[in-house]
Amino acid sequence: MKKAFLLIGAMIAMTACGNKNVFMEKWDSPDGTAPFSKITTADYLPAVKEGIKEQKAEIDAIIACPDAPTFENTIAAYELSGKLLSKVTGVFYNISESDSTPEIQKIEEEITALTTAADDEIFMNDKFFARVKAVYEASEGLDREQQMVTKKLYDRFVRNGVALDEAGKARFAEINSSLAALSQKFGNNLLAENNAFKEAIGVTVSAYPSFMGSCEDRALREKAFKAYSSRGNNANENDNNEIVLQILKLKTEQANLLGYNTAAEYLLANKMAGNPSTVDAFLAPIMDASMRKAKEEIADMQKVMDADIAAGKLPKGSKIQPWDWAFYAEKVRKAKFDLDDEETKPYFQIDSVRKGLFYAAEKLYGIKVEPAPDVEVYNPVVKAYRLLDADGSLLGIFYADYFSRETKRGGAWMNNFREQYLDADGKDVRPIIVNVCNFPPATDETPSLLTIDEVQTAFHEFGHALHGFLTKCRYVDVSGTNVARDFVEMFSQFNENWAFQKEILSVYANNYRTGEPIPDALVEKINRSLKFNQGFMTGELCAASILDMRWHELTLPELEAFKTADDIRAFEEKVCKEMGLIDEIIPRYRTTYFNHIFNSGYSAGYYGYLWSEVLDVDAFEKFKEDGLFNPETALSFRKTFLEKGGSEEPMTLYRSFRGADPNPSALLRARGLE
């Protein structure tokens, strides 16, 4: 039956398009990687249309199957559908995020509209849902992975309004289309604002933290802070205020259609936390603890500022302001730990850090990483690698795209060009994964050198990649990082723990000028300093999480009361005051540049970083108890978590590994907030 569905798709692909399109051809490139040099922008849209047509035929064949619904002829058949569409969008959306152009943005508008409508056609199809429901209601005889795949597919129908009447379905689909377009517009506006920031200040948004920590000119720091914190809120063509309100209203209306009072209730129903009150109760004590620590940090910084006042560098009465925090925090760190980024950066040249990433993975999980010069890349600065298991079998292809450029959106992320799954013949199709960052490129004088925070970012994103590479699932919907949003960050944050372990540093941290290994004394300083400034670091992260929740906890009538940008700003200020955020700190992301929640799937989910950190820190304590590189513990972590993906409930997996529920106080201990 499965081969029949694939044959239908192949026939459609061969006959539907007279012009040669690289996506409609079988790629004979190494390991099925994209032949980027053969792809043109003109290929994307026709291939997406053909992919949608192909998947529709596959779904129609599932519905028309005369046999009673079973897992194999319904759920598994769906899992194997849409491979051409996945092939195209896997390339296109990665390119649109990392190498965007006006032409790509225009194509993205059309593709997003088409794929959104196609998804709605599938997940509002009563006949298809009837088959899925029949399998779901008789799923006791399935194995656990099959049960999880079936439940996930069933829930997707329900959460996409399949049970609504025809008018409700039409409105739900209309909202989906509008949200897709608005989210894309939000992201494009933010990219333009980020580039405008660079034009005005002279540094990229990604370099902003380092700039603020080293800039001696207080007036310039203030200018940079105000430009950074007002992105998307400048009453220009890139203003995001109205877009934010439209997105929030539409999400809340969708939630109402499904019987939820707020967007947060709907969005959290399928997460580990389950509901807004659980998230709010989780965040409140973290916020309180971080603000207590932040007030101590201000006192330390004010002493240094007072010395500058006494030296005539600043006017009398000067107090720490938000644009002063990074600058004076660096001075305090220098005084407390005799440490600053200029001392450590020579040891963290990007190629060396990458070597450390790979070595840590090898030491923990026995894998090998080799350069793949035969694999094409989409940009000359991108590097390609093969990951091999201890037995030499392929785990997948890895692209490292580390340097900032104007065509790349800000931040850092992991994504798949291709997911892992078993094909119709039972062959294990291995993933193709990219890590995208915005590290400073090399200059004429120096190679790319990373700060301590940037080293942690590199390890973080490679943690996501390892989650994708080490998965051993049969079905796409639960493989790799396809887990609950408040679970997925556990594995990336867990991988950060290895960045500054002495055994790992001894392999990769060599001075790029002299080749000398990083001194033990400097390693000690780095590790002691990791808990430094955690009042600020935790506070701004927690504040953004609470701001995210408060926006999504509003009812539709409450949102209708917002009319202007001033209303949005007033709400932000009210929320910050209520949460206890001190005036010297702002949320890590303010509303108009909060890309995670308005363009990246973290709506009512930004708390997931802290939620997952509880799991990561508690899991790492087991490694410390057993020995950091205990092979049995590492193997248990790999088999329990990394191989399982979403094929089991997160807490079931966690208890299997740890033997108990995670201890929330582990997070406060790890951050030095207790």
In angstroms, how far is CA 172 from the centroid of its own chain? Answer: 26
Residues 6+ apart with CB under 8 A from 497: 616, 620, 623
Q: Cα-flanking dihedrals φ and ψ of residue 445, to 5°?
A: -95, -35
CA-closest candidate to residue 654, choices 607, 626, 614, 604:
614
CA-closest candidate to residue 209, choices 536, 514, 644, 672:
536
**Active-site residue identified among 108, 145, 461, 553:** 461
Q: What is d(CA 241, CA 238) in angstroms, rounded to the nearest whole number?
A: 9
* Active site (annotated) includes residue 25: no
Neighbours of 348 (CB within 10 A): 26
Neighbours of 319 (CB within 10 A): 14
Q: What is d(CA 405, CA 188) in angstroms, rounded to the nearest whole number?
A: 15
CA distances, 529 to each of 65, 277, 609 (Å): 63, 34, 21
Q: Find the helix or strand (DSSP H, E) in which 212 lies.
A: helix 208-214
CA-closest candidate to residue 345, choices 447, 450, 210:
450
* Burial status of residue 627 (CB atoms within 10 A of its CB: 0-12, 13-18, 19 or more): exposed
CB crowding 441-478: b at 16 or more within 10 Å, else e: eeeeeeebbbbbebbbbbbbbbbbbbbbbbbbbbbbbb
Q: What is d(CA 42, CA 288) in angstroms, rounded to the nearest whole number?
A: 53
Tell me the catalytic residues: 461
